[in-house]
Amino acid sequence: MIDLVESSKTENSNSYDILFQSCRKSLFLTALVMLENRLDAEDAVQDTAIIAYSSISTLKNNEYFKTWITRILINRCKRIRVTRSRNKTIELTEETLWAEPLTNHAIEVWEAVNKLGKDDKILITLRFFNDLSISEIAAVLKAPIGTMKSKLHRAIKKLRKIMGEEEIR
Amino acid sequence: MNTDELFIKQLELSGNEIQNKLKILNSLSDINYSDGYKRKVKSQRKYLLLTASVAIVLTLVLSTIVYAFVNLVFGDMNFDKGLKKADEAGQTTSLNLSTKDKNITLNVKGIISDNLRTVILVSVSGELPPVEDEDDEDFGPANLESMNLRDENGNEYQYKGASGGYFSNDPNKDMRLEFEGIKNHDVDSLTLYIASINGITGVWEINIPIKVIPSHEFYPNIVYEENGVTFAIDKIVFAATDTELTCRYGPGHFMGFTKVILSNSIDSVKSNSWSADNNAGAVEIHFPTFPMDRDITLTIVVNDKEQTTFSVDIPASTFKK
């Protein structure tokens, strides 16, 4: 990935294309969870792709590409959330989101994540849908690692409660 | 592995699955990074997406209607995932049979049978007095007496329970009668007999054609021992409507499970129920239908507060014997 970032900086749009394709799914998921609307999420990802392409030369450390582009996306989503005219839709639970049917547990997880508050939802999405480490999440959200750790712990606990995992069955 | 670790592991698996199965539309595969082009593509995309969304919604509505009215015999069965899965797989049989006595008609609308259970979908219409004690509905069918189910060879199948409440005059109000499973796959007809409905005595006897769905039984002989506790898996049955594990434990009393999970590399299911026989040191654990095409792990949480959890691996080779 580091090589791809480097060659993208030299205006090689093919390299950037490959680089972006490697993370578009996780970006799209994050945008979906944040915006709860497929059209807005696609706009956010498309905008992010263009912003990142035009400013990749400013990225100082190539290793941080994933956290850097995730941060761009989150800022973009926040902006869309403020300015958008579209209403939220219920399409997030539709099967049209998935190329293949999800397993029962994955459906439970997806539905439970979407019931979380917006901060918890982002943390869970970045950690479990985007595979970011705690320190990467801390970098994306510009917060101390310790704070992120305890917030993530609390978010997992809430998710577990929503999924009924703490109840005796 | 404690329950927290297990939950996080499952979360990671589901997170990967969600990411892998997410559908990416072409609009995100083909981005031109010049601003002017972007605006043009975006406006075209909006119309395309609007058209696609209308088509998707129409397809969903139509497929839901078709799905509900054509495919599913037992209807909304979210609370019985095994039966729901079998229904969705087309393993249930839709029927339109009825028998009438004392101006009360018993309708048989559907059936499914495998080694573990036989479920019959029935309803009643006609001059039906209200049930005397509606509070008994959870234990139903309080209003059905002297009911039995026999096959053509005279073998009787034990009644196990009913769901769907009590009978009313509404022919659309269904009740599911559940009996023990049929191990003889040659059985091709059953007779359901009911002697009393809501206190009205009569004879409601109906012959029901049946195709028993074969199940797969395995005897893995897997023994797990830790801290002086022995847990053995003697038998696993993979049936159309359920997966059943017959296990032994010891020494002493039943450990009192808090949660039991069956998982493989791609999915996991929670147990529906378990029943223990302390005298025999045996426990039967029921799960929704689960595939037997790969390694399975049985995870049991014995005491949630102390987080006593143990996992038993059942290799896929067990299911090839």
A46·B28 Cβ contact <8 A: yes
| Chain A nearest C-alpha distance from B97 (Å) | 34
Contact residues, chain A, for B7 at CB < 8 Å: 156, 160, 165
Global pTM value = 0.51
Contact residues, chain A, for B46 at CB < 8 Å: 39
Radius of gyration for the alpha carbons in chain A, expressed in angstroms and rounded: 17
Instruction: Collapse the DSSP code of B24 into the 3-class scheme (helix H, G, I; strand E, B; otherwise coil) and give the result.
Output: coil
Give the integer Cα–Cα distance in Å for B117 and B120: 10
Contact residues, chain A, for B270 at CB < 8 Å: 169
Matching residue, tokens 């808090």:
B258
Among A29, A105, A169, whose Cβ lies nearest the Cβ of B259?
A169
**Residue A99 touches chain B, beta carbons under 8 Å:** yes
Give the integer Cα–Cα distance in Å for A3 and B232: 53
User: B residues 26-45 near A, CB within 8 Å?
Assistant: 27-29, 31, 33, 35, 38, 42, 45
In this predicted model, what pLDDT tens digit does every residue of B224-264 receive, in sequence order?
A: 887 777 889 999 999 999 999 999 887 766 666 777 889 98
The residue with greater pLDDT, B9 or B69, is B9
Contact residues, chain A, for B62 at CB < 8 Å: none
Contact residues, chain A, for B25 at CB < 8 Å: 42
Residues of chain A with pLDDT under 50: 89-91, 166-169
In this predicted model, what pLDDT tens digit does every residue of B15-47 receive, in sequence order?
A: 888 888 887 765 566 565 544 444 444 555 566
The nearest alpha carbon in chain B to A94 belongs to: B60
What average pLDDT does chain B have? 79
| Chain B nearest C-alpha distance from A136 (Å) | 17
Q: DSSP for B213-279?
A: PP-EEE---EEEEETTEEEEEEEEEE-SS-EEEEEEEESSS----SEEEEE-SS-EEE-SEEEEETT
> What does DSSP say about strands B148-151 and B144-145: parallel, antiparallel, or unpaired?
unpaired
